[in-house]
Every structure is written in structure tokens, then in C-alpha cells.
Amino acid sequence: MARPKSEDKRNAILAAATQVIAEQGLGAPTARIAKVAGVAEGTVFTYFESKDELLNTLYLDIKSDMREVMMDGYPNNATVQTRARHVWQRYVNWGVAYPHKRRAMAQLAVSDRLTDQTRATGMNAFADVNEMVQTSIASGVLRDHPPAFAAAIMGAIADTTMEFIERDPSQAERYRNAGFEAFWSAVARH
């Protein structure tokens, strides 16, 4: 009789995959992930049928964590700029606090190993933000950029902001605010 799967082992594998992918990229061997997790390589495949399943699960796990942080205390009834600033601040704070997750997500986001269903599920996690963007474009508050393009602009400016904060944490607030202003200038109608 097979032993029941352990949530702790599953989480250890996901944490190890995050670290190893952040450091070595998506080509990192599962043997390395297993070693960092402190399990046998076969154990990885007890929890995930394939490396692709592990990568898809990891993507959704990191997206879920990111969403939880970004949407905590989300001001639904505030101005678009206030809501955008909330999402921005939370995202930058998350990326600085969890650099391995941020780097692993950057690798995963461009991977052809993610399924369309995984990508759609990841996007659905941010339905509140996507709705705000669509409504704001329709009302003329935001420029009529495709939402994915606006998100890419945010991601690029946020990455730059996070890198500068990592280099000089004493200037974190300055960089966070300057980054938001650059993002807002790129997407808002003036």
C-alpha cells in the first residue's frame, strides 16, 4: 500500500524548483531540484508526473502567492490611480522580498512548456485588475493599450525598480515612487 503524499514534501519540491530555476533556468535537472528539496529524484515524480507538470504547477503556485500579496487590501472603490498604485506597491514589495520567485516566474512566463490552460488560470487570478484596466480604457482614464502590453510595461518598469531597490535598499521608497510615476505616465491619459 502506497504511503499518502505529504504536503510538506510537495511544498519542499516546489520551493526547491523555485530556487533552482531562478538560479539555473528551466533546463535545470530534476535531480538538482530533488537534492535541494532533500528528497530522492523519484519522489519528484511521485508528486508530479513529469517536469512539465512540475513547471505548470510551480507557475500557478507562484501566481497564487503573487495574487494573494497584490490583492490583499485592494481598494475596490478607489480611483484608478490609487488602485494601480496599490497593485504596483504590492508587486514591487513581493518581488524584492522573494527574488527567487520573481526570477523563476520570469523564466516560466516565457516558457513554451506551460499549457494554455495554465496561462488562462494564471490570468484569471487577476480578474479584478483586468476588469479595472478594461473599464479604465473604456472611460478614457487609461490609454487604449492592449492589457497584455500594459502589463508588460508594468513588468519591465517594476523589474528595473526592484533591481535598483536590491542594489540600494536605503532608496527603496524613492525608486518605488519613481517607478510608479514612469509606469503611470506610460499608461494613463494626460
Beta bridge partners of 188: 142
For residue 42, CA distances in Å to 4, 10, 50, 51, 151 come to: 15, 13, 11, 12, 38
Band (pLDDT 50/70/90 cuts) for residue 4 is low
Residue 158: domain span: 75-187
pLDDT, tens only, 125-160: 888 777 877 788 878 888 888 877 888 899 999 999
- Report the C-alpha gap between 182 and 164 in whole angstroms: 14
Let me know if residue 79 belongs to a domain: yes
Whether pTM > 0.95 for this model: the answer is: no
Q: According to DSSP H, which parts of the chain are helical?
A: 7-24, 30-37, 41-47, 51-71, 80-97, 99-109, 116-124, 127-138, 147-167, 172-187
| Percent of the chain surpassing pLDDT 70 | 98
What is the CATH classification number for the domain harbouring 137?
1.10.357.10
pLDDT tens-place string over residues 156-182:
999 999 999 999 999 999 999 999 999
Report d(CA 68, CA 54) in Å as an integer.
Answer: 21
* Amino acid symbol at 42: G
Residue pair 70/91 in contact by the 8 Å Cβ criterion: yes
43 domain residue, yes or no:
no
The answer to whether position 182 is within a domain reads yes
Question: Rounded CA gap, 121 and 99, in Å?
Answer: 23
Query: How far from chain centre, in Å, is Cα 64?
Result: 8
Q: CA 146 to CA 45: how far, in whole Å?
A: 39
Which of residues 148 and 10 earns the better pLDDT score? 10
Is 115 contained in some domain?
yes
The answer to whether position 119 is within a domain reads yes
Has residue 32 been placed in a domain? Answer: no
Mean pLDDT over the full length of the chain: 92
22 inside domain: no
Domain total in the chain: 1
* 97-80-172 Cα angle (round to 5): 30
What is the per-residue pLDDT for 143?
84
